[in-house]
Structures are given as C-alpha cells and as structure tokens.
Amino acid sequence: MKNLGLIATLMLASVPVSASDSLDICLVTGHPVSDIKYEKIQRIKIGKNSYGSVTDVLQVFADKADALGANAVVNYVGSQRFGFWPWRFVRPVVRGEAVKLYFSNGQTCRDIGGATVREVIKTNKEPHHI
C-alpha cells in the first residue's frame, strides 16, 4: 500500500503544470534589454477573419503562447490588417515570438518595458504605452 502511494506521488510530480494564467504572459514590443536572457520557442500569429479589435484575439494568442510553454512574447505587434478584399474590411492580427524569459533580481514584465496580456486587454493600449 505504501508503494502505491509513493508511485502516485511520483506520477503527480512529473505532470507538467502551467506556471500561471495565460493572461499573465508578458508582451514586449521589441527585444528585451540585453541583460535579460530568453529562449526562443516559436513565432506565432493569430488573426480574426472579420472586423474587430485586437483585444478580441488576444486571449487566443495568449493561450497559444501558454500552450507552447512561453511566459512572454517578444517583437509583439497587434494591428489592423487588410483582409483578402482590402477595400471591404480590415481585421485584427497579433503576432510575435513566443519565448521563455529568465527574469533576474526580482524583475517584472513592467521593468523590462512590457505589459501583461491582461493589462493590454484592460487598457486597449500597446504594451510600451502602459
């Protein structure tokens, strides 16, 4: 019986756990300052197929970055882009590179010139303007 409990504990300890809510992902509109180390994961791009705001697609964008194991997105750009029929409508598109940032000395997203997805949705401003 004791072995069964030990095995169950070891199995639970090996399950990957999300570090935080996807809305806590840090968005940086360029590269972080040189003293911040990061590991590139993958470029991501999410767009909406119809008219709307960039904030309409940020949750899906954050979920994608979180699923890749990222805690930040560098070179973030959120903009209105022309669709297939440019004279008809524009659509929101967000893109950037999902990365794993290694903060040091208690630094936060705001300290490196970024903002969380939650803050961008709440204020509807680019991360460097928050």
Give the neighbor-by-neighbor strand order of the sheet with 37-47.
37-47, 90-102, 72-82, 26-27, 115-116
pLDDT at 63: 96
Closest listed residue to residue 54, CA positions, set 123, 129, 128: 123
* Spatial contact of 68 and 15, defined as CB atoms under 8 Å apart: no
pLDDT in tens, 18-45: 446 899 999 999 988 778 889 999 999 9
* Spatial contact of 74 and 113, defined as CB atoms under 8 Å apart: no
Q: Which helix (H) or strand (E) holds 59?
A: helix 55-67
pLDDT at 16: 35
pLDDT at 20: 60
pLDDT at 18: 40
Can you tell me whether residue 130 is helix, strand or coil? coil
Q: What is the pLDDT along the chain (130 residues), one digit of tens a residue?
A: 444 343 333 333 333 334 468 999 999 999 887 788 899 999 999 998 888 889 999 999 999 999 999 999 999 999 887 766 655 577 899 999 999 999 888 889 998 889 999 999 999 898 988 8
Rounded distance, CA 121 to CA 56, Å?
A: 9
Largest CA distance in the chain: 70
* Spatial contact of 114 and 27, defined as CB atoms under 8 Å apart: yes
pLDDT at 17: 35
pLDDT at 90: 78
**Structure token pair of residue 114:** 């970024």
Chain centre distance of CA 98: 7
pLDDT at 129: 87
